[in-house]
Structure 1
Amino acid sequence: MAFIKIYIHLVFSTKNRDSFLNTFDIPLKVRKHIKEYAIEKGIFLDMINGYSDHCHCLISLGSDQNIEKIVQLLKGESSHWINKNKLTLGKFSWQDEYFAVSVSESMVESVRNYIKNQEKHHQKKALERNIRNLLKDIILNTK
């Protein structure tokens, strides 16, 4: 039996980066469903989290799996499930594109922490963006 340990950090976004996952309960339901579906399909989903318009996953590929098929399964089934259960206003879909990068075993814990702390990460980014915009306004109005 082959021993394979290939970690992939996978990120996919909502169509047009719309903030469909911006309530407390919808993202939790979606992530729980994706976890359950991954187990059903034999996909090793180590970690999942995200923000209002995207989802981060840390997966490990099996010997008969490839990234394209896993992404197709997770995104396709979850968008179908979201629409079937009317979790969002309007039709939900993920963007066609996705980001996938291999993760060395020495970096797995760092990637887990990054995925786990998405809320904090994006709050910090929003604060930095707001401060930048405020400073830009101050500079422009003092000229």
Structure 2
Amino acid sequence: MMPNTYTQIYIQLVFATKGRDSQITNLVREEIEKYICGIFNNKGQKVMAIYANPDHVHIFFSYKNLQITISDLVKVVKTESTNFINEKKLCVNHFTWQQGYGAFSYAKSQKERVVNYILNQETHHEKKSFRDEYVEFLNAFEIEFKDEYLFEFYD
């Protein structure tokens, strides 16, 4: 018998629309979220929470299939969702994601808090800009960064 591999890794991904254009409207948000969840599922991952803001997305998932790197997973998600959005003409203008992403890991004990945080994005962003939120993540996780290499922020 071969021993199995067991993992428990929780990751929150954050990435933005190109130019931080507010292209994801409430009319198409759920359809885009469902499509992205399908991509994760097809890659052997389990999405626990997703929220597509008009100009950025948060995805919290259980990283199960270690055969695909997080970087490759993000590339597939961005490419396939971009093609889907443009083919279905879900956004007024040509849609694309901005380069780069944030990936933040969490303990199982933080799972419920992160799920609630993501599902309450609309309320959360009434009080805090995406830039402030993202810089807070980087600082909280002690990730060194340079402003010029962050997403294009216009707020």
Equivalent of 1:88 in 86, 91, 110: 91
The aligned residue for residue 42 of structure 1 is 44
- Alpha-carbon distance between aligned partners in 2 of 1:46 and 1:73, rounded to the nearest angstrom: 19
- Alpha-carbon distance between aligned partners in 1 of 2:29 and 2:8, rounded to the nearest angstrom: 28
Q: Which amino acid aligns with 1:94?
A: W
Structure 1's consecutive aligned runs of 4 or more residues displaced over 3 angstroms after TM superposition are: none
Q: What is the deviation of 1:125?
A: 2.8
Q: Which amino acid aligns with 2:40?
A: A
Residue deviations 1:54-97 (CA, integer Å, cap 9, x gap): 00001222232321011011111001100011111221000111
Query: Is 1:63 the counterpart of 2:66 in the alignment?
Result: yes
Q: What is the deviation of 1:51?
A: 1.2
- Alpha-carbon distance between aligned partners in 1 of 2:46 and 2:68, rounded to the nearest angstrom: 10
Q: Which has the larger radius of gyration?
A: 1
- Alpha-carbon distance between aligned partners in 2 of 1:7 and 1:41, rounded to the nearest angstrom: 15
SS in structure 2 opposite 1:36?
A: helix
Could you tell me which runs of 5 or more consecutive residues in structure 1 were left unpaired when the two chains were aligned.
127-143
The aligned residue for residue 119 of structure 1 is 122
TM-score normalised by L of structure 2: 0.76
Identify which range, 56-65 or 74-83, moves more after superposition.
Answer: 56-65
% identical aligned pairs: 39
Could you tell me which runs of 5 or more consecutive residues in structure 2 were left unpaired when the two chains were aligned.
130-155
- Alpha-carbon distance between aligned partners in 2 of 1:59 and 1:75, rounded to the nearest angstrom: 16
TM-score normalised by L of structure 1: 0.82
The Cα RMSD (Å) is 1.3
- Alpha-carbon distance between aligned partners in 1 of 2:93 and 2:121, rounded to the nearest angstrom: 25
Query: Is 1:4 the counterpart of 2:16 in the alignment?
Result: no
